[in-house]
Chain A
Amino acid sequence: MRYAETGYDLEIDLARGNIERVESDPRLTELHLGGLGTSVKTHWDRVPPETKPFDPENLLIFGTGLLCGTPAFSANRTLVTFISPQSELLAYPMMGGFWSAELKYAGYDRVIFRNKSPKLVYIWIHNDKVEIRDASHLKGKGALETQDLIRQELKEPRAQVAAIGLAGESRVFTASIEQGRSSASRLGGGAVMGDKKIKAVAVRGTQDVNLARGAEFMEHMEDVTEYIRFRNENPIPDVMTILSGIGSPQEMKHTDEKWHTENFMWGNARTRRRDFWSKPNEENWTTAQLDAVQRLISCFNCPQQCGALVSSEGVGGQKYMMKCFGKLTYSMAAYVDDLGFNFRILQRATEYGVDSFSTPQILAFAVELYEAGILTDKDFEGCPSDKEGRFFWLLDRVARREGIGDVLADGVYYAARKIGKGAEEFDHNTIKKHEQLPLKLGMLDPIYFLMYTTNEKISITQIEGNFPQAAFPTREQREAFVKDWPQIPDERFKQYLLDWEPRGDQAIPYFPTPDMCSEIVDWMEMLHNIDDALGLCAGMGSFCLKPPYHIHNYPKLISAAAGIDMDEAALKKIVNRSRNLHRAFNNRRGMTRADEKPPEDHWKRRFPELEEQLLSTYYKFKGWNMDGIPTKERLVELDLGYVAEDLEKRGILKDGQD
């Protein structure tokens, strides 16, 4: 019997309409755990580096984490993996919601799609019965609308449905996959799904997920539950409200947005408005949010409530669900002071199915180009002149790939190059061709420098986490923070934090030192990789300060759930293996050190020499050569000799580079 996992994958060949239930090798779980780890391995084995994002050979994998469907709180992530049309690297956007657990209960760990369907279809997985069904009647339907239409059609209100909207069908590079209140948004999974002509994947399962040593597992979960209660009652003092709790940032609950609106950039990551949070604006934003949010809601088996059911008069009373930073991205990108606008446009954007980080920036980029005379009245023919109307109009064009929207739908990087005439200068907030959070800061932050440049996620919110974002002003605050910090992998991290000053010699950019930064970043990245393999929400582990899940309890939970006994060292080795395989996969597709740089204006004060030193120190710490490629020694140590061989054969790893 297999424990925690089901031991089966669904292999679906969309061109031939062939569906197979394939038993997976238990050894794969021992080597890569599940979730992101196992999927990276499949992509490495089956997707050669010549494969383009819209080639039939590009695999689209819907994966669950090892703990999804077990009683582990917040183990509900679905990991979607594919070669991104935007970065052309292996992307892995994740969504919470209810889909992954349902797939486990249907008897599968993953659904692996290859090739393309000749016509628009949806997949219906109901335990052992799996069908490819016609979806021509769903063409152009909204991503949320589609979910309910399919549930009605199947007469199965308990089916969980992941669907794309019009943007996915149009292969917009920022198209998302929507499911309940969650979405796998970043890097264009919706576009790959649309390219394969999959409108939706619906799942209903009524089978068991087994635990190897259930009683022992529940004892460990008892400790986790106690800690969740404790943290919910004891927010961390001396940090911003949204960093004080656990779960995703509680954007639906908290109305105080002084920090985001005054520290994040408005427009195309352009303008900081230090005096935005005035009394009238605060009132407008608070009222708009309280009016719109009808109920705080959660993902599968999670006590937190990071999402919300939203409805407002402005969206015609139509309800939708949202969470997190999407609450304010459209208002800020459009320079619209009224938060009601954000709730209105996000409803349409959710039905189209587009990423609410990248998309508003793309629209703001277009407005800037128009104002600069690079895009003309001809490009904007028929566009209203007010800020709100302009954004709605542009969003429609992008989702339909009409006119200028067709160019913009490839994202800022590609659009800038296609438009030319100096538009490249306005692409000032992408890393590896991917739009970043709209942040422009003063002093170079060495920890963030490494996270931004080196992580395969290419999105900061999925890299940062357990180490505070900034130094505490006073010694007393630091001492209070480290006093109760059981999550750290080593006591020395306490000293780093104690010694870290907001200003002076012991401050950024030179402190923490490159060596310390390497350890801190490696630790935070490792936690994300563990969560992503287990299917745990980062909001309960890697993403927040003092979380309930950490390096000291993960191995216990994995051992008891899956019956694969391991300690901390063994777990670290597994995620390092998957992480290096992921890097090698991207190296094989051409990614090198030259790609690992933040936008020029991300910080005003840059230190080129220090930055090179940071990168080199970190590469060395990771066991990578100075091009950012894992060394043979490192790969062999992680049982990845076959990867070293492949990289050598292709001339990516050269002799003597260790």
Chain B
Amino acid sequence: MAKIEKKIKTITIDADKCNGCRACEIICSAFHAAPKYSSSNPARSRIHVISHRLKDIWLPVFAGEYAPAECMGRDKYVIDGKEYDECGFCRASCPSRDLFKEPDSGLPLKCDMCESDPPLSEPMCVQKCLNDVLIYEEREEEVEDEEVKLEDVEIGLESMIDKYGLQNVMDTVSRISMSKKG
């Protein structure tokens, strides 16, 4: 298979510096609103600060890949005597919890590193974290050529099918198309 150059984007999270203000959540939701910046709502954010103030836990986690099924087991971390919630570090939007789901539709949310045209210098959460908790880095890596990715519509539909079942989605699509045709 052919090798191609791939841009790797990472956000390093220096959680020790986090003061728990959630500016990252607000700006993320505002940036991804349509039209851009027309609203803010941390529940729509693709980054979330998991916090237990009295346990000294402030942990920004940004949304990763959608997982249609729960893991077979759960994990729990204890670091420096602080116990983190089950699956606390996991970035997936999954059926076991309500994190990283659109509050209206329940559809999964995923961080897109604020891809936009023209591109931003850094994702918005990184720009608005003035305490340098979030550090953005880009690097080039050589990887094997991947198969063609599913289009966005397909990703959306697949998760709808996972959530509601194929028949329900097909029924709904045909009902909507009937009504559109009038």
Contacts and interface: CB of A to CB of B under 8 A. Distances in A.
B77 interface: no
A348 interface: no
Interface in B1-45: 19-23, 26-27, 30, 33, 35-44
A208 B45 CA distance: 11
29 contacts: A71-B26, A71-B30, A71-B37, A98-B22, A157-B52, A157-B85, A206-B41, A209-B40, A211-B38, A211-B40, A214-B35, A214-B39, A215-B36, A218-B37, A295-B56, A296-B19, A297-B19, A297-B53, A297-B58, A298-B19, A300-B21, A300-B22, A301-B22, A302-B23, A303-B129, A303-B130, A309-B56, A319-B54, A320-B54
A73 B41 contact: no
B128 A206 contact: no
B103 interface: yes
A71 B56 contact: no
Of B36, B54, B55, the most chain A CB neighbours within 10 A belong to B54
A214 B40 CA distance: 10
Nearest to B131: A303
A644 interface: no
A299 interface: yes
Interface in B40-95: 40-44, 52-56, 58, 85
A171 interface: no
Interface in B114-170: 128-131
Contacts of B131: 303, 305
Given A298-B20, A299-B21, A232 B39 contact: no
A157 B50 CA distance: 9
Given A225-B130, A295-B56, A303-B130, A208 B41 contact: yes
A180 B56 contact: no
A26 B20 CA distance: 33
Interface of B: 19-23, 26-27, 30, 33, 35-44, 52-56, 58, 85, 103, 128-131
**Interface size grouping (class) on chain A:** 35 or more
A214 B22 CA distance: 19
Given A301-B23, A319-B56, 20 more contacts: A69-B40, A71-B27, A71-B37, A71-B40, A105-B42, A157-B85, A181-B53, A205-B43, A209-B41, A211-B40, A214-B33, A214-B37, A294-B56, A295-B56, A298-B20, A300-B21, A300-B22, A301-B21, A302-B21, A305-B131
Contact of B38 (A210, A297, A309): A210
A398 to B, nearest CB: 25
Interface string A285-329: 000000000111111111101000100000000011100000000
Contacts of A205: 43
Interface string A223-256: 0010011001000000000000000000000000
A309 B53 contact: yes
Nearest to A98: B22
A613 interface: no
A144 interface: yes
A147 to B, nearest CB: 9
A70 interface: yes
| Residue among A71, A302, A320 with the highest chain B CB neighbour number at 10 A | A71
A225 B128 contact: yes
A232 B130 contact: yes
